[in-house]
Amino acid sequence: MESYEILWNNALIDLQNKMTQASYNTFIATLIPVDVKDGTLVLWSQTTLTANTATEKFADAIKEAIDKASSGALCDFEIVVGKNKDTALKQTKNKVKVTSTFSGSPINPLFTFDSFVVGESNKLIHAAAKAVAEHPGESFNPLFIYGGTGLGKTHILMAIVNHVKLKHPSKNVLYTTCEQFTNQLIEAISRGKNNGPEFRNTFRNVDILLIDDIQFLSGKQQTQSEFFHTFNELIMQNKQIVIASDRPPAEIEVLEERLRTRFEGGLLADVQKPDIETRIAILKKKSEEKKVIVDMKVLAHIAEKGDEDIRSLIGKLTKVIFSSQLHEKPITIELVDEALKESASSETEEIKIDDIISQVADFYNIKKSDMLGKKKNKEFTEPRQICIYLITELLSLPLVTIGQKMGGRDHATVIYARDKISDHIKSSAKLATEVNDLKNMILKK
């Protein structure tokens, strides 16, 4: 038996304990290890459906299991598809890659164009992104999306990825953040000149590159230079580039002029704060997702309480729903006013974050340093994800802020943890009880 087969067998033991038996039997147990290449475990699947489901829904769990089984020697995987595994290995064009090369940037399968509520403030971005997803490299290149935090930029980027994977499964798509691009460059430099080509191949041998939070290029001269050449290489090959930022190119400080002009060479699309009709539509959709019936007059009342970003708006709805559940009262306008009248200031919410972290650590009898650290043992990863879920549900804070407080993690990781626990609660009565107990402890403090 090859060493990678032994490794995968050990990983399977870990994976079997992390998911339902049905999911494990259908999408994990059928995967066969066939090779190790460039620090990546290569798995084989007979069907594209199994490969896509494994990479979309279970990528993080698979990576953690591989990392644990290999004692950190491997932390990534890819899947080749074909009726015959030897043929599939040769036909690399059939590879179904994990949607992000970097652990920590998983793609949320729920972030689609259909789940994106379109209004006057964002219909241009929605239409442009849909055109790019339908015809990569042909419509707008680059597509530069900008706007304040919490307005749906990351949702749109991930919607593009999910749409391309569905309509153009042979396309190699890479979603990452500016921070991760920089970190990978630093790592390549620290490892020596032989790692330069590997780094460049990662970003330049793709059909579509989506990069979030590009404003963090500001002042990073070497990163800007590397990204400039990556940008040029992809554009020359007619590959699609999609960029998101919290401000337009002209307002990104200490940005090389050659990059600024290239960013402005495609379509600049700004997303604005939603109008009242869009805010009501968003609240209606979110309440339906949470399977809670809320009268339209009540939704309108919540929507009228401010024209803030979408994330804060959803945070208000969440507080109202929790208040209703906690006090066992129907959701009325009076309940809304009562639940929101003591909206915490930023300073108070910062204190609450620390309280939630401490409460979760105490509940699971682990050290705060372990929960906020990088250890990938299940005894730490699950409380970490539960903590992130509780913070996003109970507080109206930017995902970037939450990530920073949770050990310097990026907002994509926060999104993944939140949604993973949200889904797991539906199938695990034990987890649902634990999370509910934690909520009550926190809310009653």
Report how far residue 411's alpha carbon sits from residue 393's, in angstroms, rounded to the nearest whole number.
15
Q: Are 316 and 396 in contact (CB under 8 A)?
A: yes
DSSP string for residues in 248-286: -GGGSTT--HHHHHHHTTSEEEE-----HHHHHHHHHHH
* Residue in 18, 11, 243 with CA at minimum distance from that of residue 142: 243
DSSP string for residues in 131-177: HHHHSTTTS-SSEEEE--TTSSHHHHHHHHHHHHHHH-TTS-EEEEE
Neighbours of 22 (CB within 10 A): 8
Query: 80 forms bridges with which residues in the sheet?
Result: 44
pLDDT at 437: 81
pLDDT at 128: 93
Q: Are 331 and 324 in contact (CB under 8 A)?
A: yes
pLDDT at 102: 33
Which CATH number is 317's domain given?
A: 1.10.8.60
User: Looking at the structure, do residues 43 and 85 belong to the same domain, yes or no?
Assistant: yes
Report how far residue 234's alpha carbon sits from residue 296's, in angstroms, rounded to the nearest whole number.
47
User: Looking at the structure, do residues 296 and 265 belong to the same domain, yes or no?
Assistant: no
User: Looking at the structure, do residues 299 and 364 belong to the same domain, yes or no?
Assistant: no
pLDDT at 204: 87
Helix (H) or strand (E) holding 82: none
Residue 129 lies in a domain: yes
Query: pLDDT (tens digit, 0 to 9) for every residue of the chain, 445 residues total?
Result: 566 787 888 889 889 888 888 888 888 999 998 887 766 788 888 888 888 888 888 888 898 888 787 766 666 788 888 777 666 555 543 444 443 333 335 677 778 898 888 888 888 999 999 999 999 988 789 999 998 777 889 889 999 988 888 888 788 888 988 888 888 888 878 776 555 677 788 888 889 999 998 988 888 888 899 999 999 999 999 999 999 998 889 888 878 899 999 999 999 988 888 888 888 888 888 888 778 888 899 898 888 876 567 877 887 888 888 888 877 888 888 888 888 775 444 334 445 788 899 999 999 999 999 989 888 888 899 999 999 999 988 886 777 788 888 988 887 788 888 888 988 888 888 888 888 888 878 876 5
User: Looking at the structure, do residues 292 and 336 belong to the same domain, yes or no?
Assistant: yes
Q: Are 64 and 381 in contact (CB under 8 A)?
A: yes
User: Looking at the structure, do residues 363 and 288 belong to the same domain, yes or no?
Assistant: no
pLDDT at 103: 33
User: Looking at the structure, do residues 132 and 236 belong to the same domain, yes or no?
Assistant: yes
User: Looking at the structure, do residues 171 and 228 belong to the same domain, yes or no?
Assistant: yes
Task: Provide the pairing of β-strand 267-270 with 143-146.
Answer: parallel
pLDDT at 38: 61
User: Looking at the structure, do residues 54 and 191 belong to the same domain, yes or no?
Assistant: no
Report how far residue 368's alpha carbon sits from residue 384's, in angstroms, rounded to the nearest whole number.
10
Residues 6+ apart with CB under 8 A from 30: 45, 46, 50
Q: Which residues of 413-426 are buried (b: 16+ CB within 10 A; e: fewer)?
A: bbbbbbbbbbebbe
Residue 117 lies in a domain: no
Domain boundaries, position 296: 276-340
Report how far residue 192's alpha carbon sits from residue 114's, in angstroms, rounded to the nearest whole number.
45
Distances from the Cα of 173 to the Cα of 97, 99, 115, angstroms: 8, 7, 21
Query: 97 forms bridges with which residues in the sheet?
Result: 78
Neighbours of 29 (CB within 10 A): 13
Indicate the residue among 227, 254, 270 that finishes a domain. Answer: 270
Which CATH number is 14's domain given?
A: 3.30.300.180
